[in-house]
Chains A and B, each alone.
Chain A
Amino acid sequence: AQSVAQPEDQVNVAEGNPLTVKCTYSVSGNPYLFWYVQYPNRGLQFLLKYITGDNLVKGSYGFEAEFNKSQTSFHLKKPSALVSDSALYFCAVRDAGNNRKLIWGLGTSLAVNP
């Protein structure tokens, strides 16, 4: 069965420190992977995606993600966290059986402490 796991419900990090939000996936074939961010009472905003090519993908707001095929992971990273990065982060993979649909993780709440 296809799935996305975000093993941490919450991540806490001090401002200025590096941050990592973890995501692992299970899907047949080559995965199309996405990260989205949601600020309080707002819709989701696209951060970055991996389709093919370089395993390190750069996205909006200084975020990047590393695709690791052997570990079936797509962790979101940022070298230096900001308080304004505090939000809910969702990982998703395109459904191999229906390309238009995404399979979502349950989300990870990131809290960056000043």
Chain B
Amino acid sequence: DVKVTQSSRYLVKRTGEKVFLECVQDMDHENMFWYRQDPGLGLRLIYFSYDVKMKEKGDIPEGYSVSREKKERFSLILESASTNQTSMYLCASIIGQGAEGYTFGSGTRLTVV
């Protein structure tokens, strides 16, 4: 089974801190995604990556950046955390053109105080 691992389940950070959320997948998937999930808003795409060192903005990239230095790892960076970034963050990966659907990590619930 493909595993997508997010390094933290729960995280509490202070306003203004730089926050790193890490995601690692173990099945050589080319494509990786970062979503945030908020009640009533569903899943919103922040950034995605098709290959090492490449990235594309999703629907809500403001306040975020990403890094993909190795194929298996896709990091989400909150440059200066704000309280409106308190959310559940979900990482996902797929192989090829997406016919097999996404595999998700368990999520990181981030609270910014």
Contact = CB atoms under 8 A, between A and B. Distances in A.
Nearest to A106: B42
A49 interface: yes
Contact of A104 (B42, B50, B99, B109): B42
Contacts of B4: 43
B27 to A, nearest CB: 14
Contacts of B6: 43
Interface residues of B, number: 26
B31 interface: yes
Contacts of B94: 100
B67 interface: no
A100 B50 CA distance: 9
Contact of B106 (A36, A43, A101): A43
B98 A32 contact: yes
B97 A100 contact: yes
A32 B102 CA distance: 12
Nearest to A35: B101
B104 A90 contact: no
A106 B97 CA distance: 23
Contacts of B100: 49
Given A100-B48, A101-B45, A45 B104 contact: yes
Contact of A105 (B42, B45, B92, B106): B42
Contacts of B48: 100-101
A14 interface: no
B90 A43 contact: yes
B98 A43 contact: no
17 contacts: A32-B99, A41-B107, A41-B109, A42-B107, A43-B4, A43-B6, A43-B90, A46-B101, A49-B101, A100-B50, A100-B98, A101-B45, A101-B48, A104-B42, A106-B41, A106-B42, A107-B42
9 pairs of A and B residues whose beta carbons are closest in the complex: A43-B104, A106-B42, A99-B97, A44-B104, A43-B106, A104-B43, A43-B107, A100-B98, A100-B31
Interface of B: 4, 6, 9, 31, 40-43, 45, 48, 50, 90, 92, 94, 97-107, 109
